[in-house]
A and B are shown apart, each in its own frame.
Chain A
Amino acid sequence: MTTAVARAALPSIILACAVAPLPFVLGGYALSLLIVIGLHAIAVLGLSILMGQVGQVSLAQGAFYGLGAYGSAILALHGGLTPLVSMPAAVALAAVVALALGLPAVRLGGHHLALATLGFGIIVFLVFNEEGDWTGGPSGTLGIPPVAILDATLATDRAYAYLVWAVLLTALAAARALLASPVGRAFRAVAASEVAAAAMGIDVARTKLVAFVLAGALGAAAGALYAHWLTFVSPTAFGFETSIEFLVMAVLGGLGSLYGALLGAAAVTLLVEGLRSVVHAVAPGATGWVEIVAFGLILIVVLLAVPEGLAGGVARLVKAVRRG
């Protein structure tokens, strides 16, 4: 048992060692990017497992991001809970919502599931927008308290980077362990063929439900961390466009690959900022559209070259290097 845990945790530990010095080396701007990459990676991890390992499509990850953010913000502001309590509480609530969504949704397949999750996302967005007494409505909610451990507030980006990446790396290790376990095998069996999996005695609906809840919980965890970092939330950050962004990161990184989630999140964030630098240096007046066109084109080119995602592409590259 312990060797399995160690095996699952090893990559996370190595990553932790690699990333640990960064918050001291990087300046505020780059540190913000590190935090943003971490937040997105947590959300994309959940989506990548759901879509890659279990084969279920979800266009609702942006909504779960929002449920975690608003959930923790409301519990902290209206309920007076300290963020260290409100964040896990929000994740638990989001998990319940994911369960409620999953129960009917697992009966649907393919495009209908996409549609149901899309609809769910829109409904959640509208709730954020309309229930102004709780959420602040379209104008958003300000003054979300930062995370505090005992008396020390984690108000600096440096401390927050550690928090976010600690959560991410723990989640990665836990996910790795889960996927190596019978649950993970059940995931993959269901993704390959629901009929065959059922024939083998796997409870298909329950397996899908577990994945749904996992994805929702991870999305919410990322959202809760986001809320206490930005200290401001508004509905527009949690709409359909955000769900699509997470989808892009998941697919670009490599569906089903855990580290693909991190790669995808990092690649997209760094690409966007990188394009900004390039355009700014080459054609400052053209800001606004060049980055968009370039992003779209790069996405197309990369997906055509590496349809299995960056993680798969790196695997191929390493294999080729080893061989040659």
Chain B
Amino acid sequence: MAAADLLQFVLSGLSVGGIYALVAVGFVTIHAVTGVINFAQGELAMSGALAAAVLAAAGLPLPFAVAAAVVVGAAVGLVVDRATVWPALRRRRMGAVADVVLILLTIGASIALRGLALAIFGSEPYALGPFTPGAPIVLAGAVVPRQTLWVLGLSAATMAALALFFGRTQVGAALRACAMNRDAAKLAGISPARMSALAFGLAGAVAGLAGAAIAPISFATYDMGLMLGLKGFVSAVVGGLASPPGAVVGALALGVLESLAAGLVSSGYKDAIAFLVLIAVLLVRPEGFFPGGRLRRV
């Protein structure tokens, strides 16, 4: 096994992990503010991917298509929030709505979004051009496509932007307060409804961008959200579900594990190996990689 090959496995893993990271970051954002696991997160990315692909194919210059993806993602995120999540969240304080019901509501939303995408876009894959065309970058005998650098760069950028937003801005602090204690937030004049919408809109925007960045690598299809959502969820939970950096690290770890497993052990079992490692980690360190200040229900 040449060293260049090993490096290739790691780089391919980072490439895939970067894709997962962009989705995972949105998961964490929504969960941090509302406590909801948004199983429609993958579909938010799918909306952005398909929107960008179709608009670009229709002649819109790529930067505008990507911007449109962000807008579409945010809009769809808002719809999911207002139509399914918020009505249930509002009643959760009264103990009427279990957490699992909230998850099921997002599952319902993901099903409906998939069906709509099938109706509008059909079942065939759509291609999108890379953000910067050109040959892949060669690093010590291993290859990294340029779009991968974009994906990784955008992961880092959104992670930093979200950290700044939550840590340094008033609105961000308000969002975090909302997560800690909804009643206190309301007393301070922060409307949980607006916060929930904001969280979903933000996560949707990030997802839309994610979709547009992913499409040049692996195409846009109406059902791409299933796998993306799954891997994003896994990454976010492994990362502690509390912070974007945790989600990114979890995602990169997942991607690299899959790739190493495929290259070194067995391509058929690569997902299984990756999961086994992650679950083993969770058993040893149940808080995940980056534990946040989560209240344990007693």
Contact = CB atoms under 8 A, between A and B. Distances in A.
Interface in A240-276: 240-241, 244, 247-248, 251-252, 255
Interface residues of A, number: 47
A111 interface: yes
Contacts of B112: 292-293, 295-297, 300
Given A289-B118, A293-B112, A307-B91, A115 B234 contact: yes
B100 interface: yes
Residue of A51, A248, A251, A307 with most partner-chain B CB within 10 A: A307
A104 B271 CA distance: 20
A295 B111 contact: yes
Contacts of A123: 272, 275-276
A300 B105 contact: yes
B216 interface: no
Interface in A95-130: 104, 107-109, 111-112, 114-116, 118-120, 122-123, 126-127, 129-130
Contacts of B226: 241
B164 interface: no
A244 B107 contact: yes
A57 interface: yes
Nearest to A305: B87
B298 A115 contact: no
A248 B104 contact: yes
A21 interface: no
Contacts of B271: 122, 126
Contact of A122 (B37, B98, B114, B275): B275
B113 interface: yes
A148 interface: no
Given A51-B100, A296-B108, A114 B237 contact: yes
A210 interface: no
Interface stretch (B181-189, B203-211, B277-285): B277-285
B100 A296 contact: no
Nearest to B100: A251
Contact of B230 (A116, A129, A240, A292): A240
A10 interface: no
A237 interface: no
B83 interface: yes
A105 to B, nearest CB: 9
Contacts, number: 127
B108 A303 contact: yes
B88 A304 contact: yes
B237 A112 contact: yes
Given A122-B272, A296-B110, A300-B109, A112 B286 contact: yes
B191 interface: no
A130 B279 contact: no
Contacts of B241: 111
Contacts of B118: 288-289, 292
A193 B268 contact: no
A255 B286 contact: no
Interface residues of B, number: 46
Interface in A117-158: 118-120, 122-123, 126-127, 129-130
A278 interface: no
Contacts of B233: 115, 118
A115 B269 contact: no
A193 B296 CA distance: 11
B195 interface: no
A115 B272 contact: no
Contacts of B4: none
A290 interface: yes
Contacts of A308: 96
Interface string B118-140: 11000000000000000000000
A307 B234 contact: no
Contacts of A120: 279
A299 interface: yes
Contacts of A240: 230
A108 B283 CA distance: 7
A195 interface: yes
Contacts of B171: none
B275 to A, nearest CB: 4
Nearest to B122: A289
Interface string B281-297: 01100101000000000
Contacts of A291: 115
A286 to B, nearest CB: 8
B84 A304 contact: yes
B161 interface: no
Interface string B33-44: 000010000000
B88 A303 contact: yes
B111 A292 contact: yes
B238 interface: yes
B116 interface: yes
Nearest to A300: B108
Contacts of B266: 130
Contacts of B283: 104, 107-108
Contacts of B276: 119, 123
Given A112-B286, A291-B115, 12 more contacts: A104-B283, A118-B234, A119-B276, A119-B278, A123-B275, A193-B298, A247-B100, A290-B119, A293-B111, A295-B112, A296-B115, A299-B104
5 contacts: A247-B104, A248-B104, A290-B115, A299-B105, A304-B84
* CB-CB nearest 10 A-B residue pairs: A296-B112, A292-B115, A296-B111, A293-B115, A299-B108, A119-B275, A289-B119, A300-B108, A289-B118, A123-B272
